[in-house]
């Protein structure tokens, strides 16, 4: 594939241990449900397969100037050699309605999207971030906000943008992450091969007899190189590898 490519290389979700120590009036049972969900999520999530539709765009001054529509089969396989425990494998099916060629062109493409959208359990870093949360919908939803602290000289914070912001919506009944937004400055992102703006929506999906909240929509935008990618996921099912019998 020929394109302007970036790799979503780090887990972007929840520093959940801070919930237990934050001074807010949230029911202890609800906190424990959230923590239990986070601890069990990656451990129990199986390898899976789904359909993915991508819109790869060139966006200039808010207007789409070029768009390529890509359809693919995505295999999300457990891989203990990966930092997050999963790795994306694509089989590209079509590009703008025609069979995909090996070197098709896409204006903007982000790799490792799905695998890193599953990233939960980021260690708390109070030296680098301010953490805030509030309950919404009469206690049914937890809104979790994480912002970088300006002017911090701690060596562990060097690779963090001074305007880093992340917001998550969490279902308090199950602990499931429903929505994530992460933003940082385009200049910092370009210097560190990061993505300035990411928005992810999650929804419950059946895999065999179990239900998991999985990414169903991902959007990444990068004004510095005038790129945007929107991916949607559907038709989830467990992935069962093909067994080969050798003679």
The string of pLDDT tens digits covering residues 53-68 is 999 999 998 899 999 9
> Tokens in use for 134?
């509030």
Q: Supply the pLDDT for residue 23.
A: 40
> Tokens in use for 186?
């385009």
The string of pLDDT tens digits covering residues 128-177 is 888 788 889 988 898 888 899 888 878 888 888 888 998 989 887 777 88
Any idea which of 105-109, 184-188, 226-230 has the lowest mean pLDDT?
A: 184-188
Question: What sign for the dihedral angle of Cα 56, 223, 162, 133?
Answer: negative
Whole-number percent of the chain with pLDDT over 70: 78
Q: What's the CA gap between 229 and 244, in Å, rounded?
A: 36
For 67, counting Cβ atoms within 10 Å of its Cβ (0-12 exposed, 13-18 middle, 19+ buried), the class is: middle
Half-sphere exposure of 89 (CA within 13 A, CB side): 11
In eight-state DSSP terms, residue 121 is: -
The band of 95, judged by pLDDT with boundaries at 50, 70 and 90, is very high
- Distances in Å between the alpha carbon of 9 and those of 13, 49, 161, 203, 220? 13, 21, 15, 23, 13
Half-sphere exposure of 137 (CA within 13 A, CB side): 9
| Strand intervals (E) in the chain | 2-7, 48-60, 63-78, 86-95, 98-99, 105-111, 129-136, 141-148, 165-171, 177-183, 197-207, 210-222, 227-238
What's the whole-number average pLDDT of the chain? 81
Q: Supply the pLDDT for residue 245.
A: 43
With CA atoms as reference, report the closest residue to 42 among 117, 123, 120, 122: 120
The angle formed by the CA atoms of residues 20, 25 and 30, to the nearest 5 degrees, is 55
Q: Write down all domains in the chain, each with its CATH number in brackets.
A: 7-238 (2.50.20)
With CA atoms as reference, report the closest residue to 51 among 189, 245, 234, 175: 234
Half-sphere exposure of 99 (CA within 13 A, CB side): 2
The string of pLDDT tens digits covering residues 193-230 is 788 999 999 999 999 888 888 999 999 999 888 899 99
* Whether pLDDT at 48 is above 90: yes
For 39, counting Cβ atoms within 10 Å of its Cβ (0-12 exposed, 13-18 middle, 19+ buried), the class is: middle
* Whether pLDDT at 179 is above 90: yes
In eight-state DSSP terms, residue 42 is: H
Q: Supply the pLDDT for residue 240.
A: 80
Residue predicted with more confidence, 160 or 6: 160
């Amino acid at each position: 594939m020929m394109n302007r490519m970036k790799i979503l290389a780090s887990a972007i979700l929840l520093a959940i241990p801070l919930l237990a120590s934050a001074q807010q009036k949230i029911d202890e049972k609800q906190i424990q449900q959230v923590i239990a969900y986070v601890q069990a999520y990656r451990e129990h999530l199986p390898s899976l397969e789904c359909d993915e539709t991508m819109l790869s765009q060139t966006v200039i001054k808010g207007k789409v100037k070029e768009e390529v529509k890509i359809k693919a089969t995505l295999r999300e396989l457990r891989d203990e050699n990966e930092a997050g425990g999963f790795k994306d494998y694509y089989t590209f099916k079509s590009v703008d309605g025609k069979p995909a060629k090996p070197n098709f062109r896409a204006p903007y493409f982000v790799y490792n999207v799905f695998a890193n959208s599953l990233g939960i359990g980021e260690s708390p870093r109070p030296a680098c971030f301010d953490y805030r949360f509030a309950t919404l919908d009469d206690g049914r939803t937890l809104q979790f906000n994480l912002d970088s602290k300006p002017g911090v000289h701690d060596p562990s914070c060097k690779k963090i943008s001074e305007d880093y912001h992340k917001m998550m919506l969490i279902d308090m009944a199950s602990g499931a992450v429903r929505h994530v937004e992460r933003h940082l400055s385009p200049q910092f992102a370009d210097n560190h091969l990061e993505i300035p703006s990411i928005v992810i929506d999650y929804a419950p999906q059946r895999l065999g007899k179990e239900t998991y909240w999985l990414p169903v929509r991902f959007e990444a935008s990068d004004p510095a190189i005038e790129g945007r990618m929107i991916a949607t996921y559907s038709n989830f099912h467990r992935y069962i590898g093909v067994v080969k019998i050798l003679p």
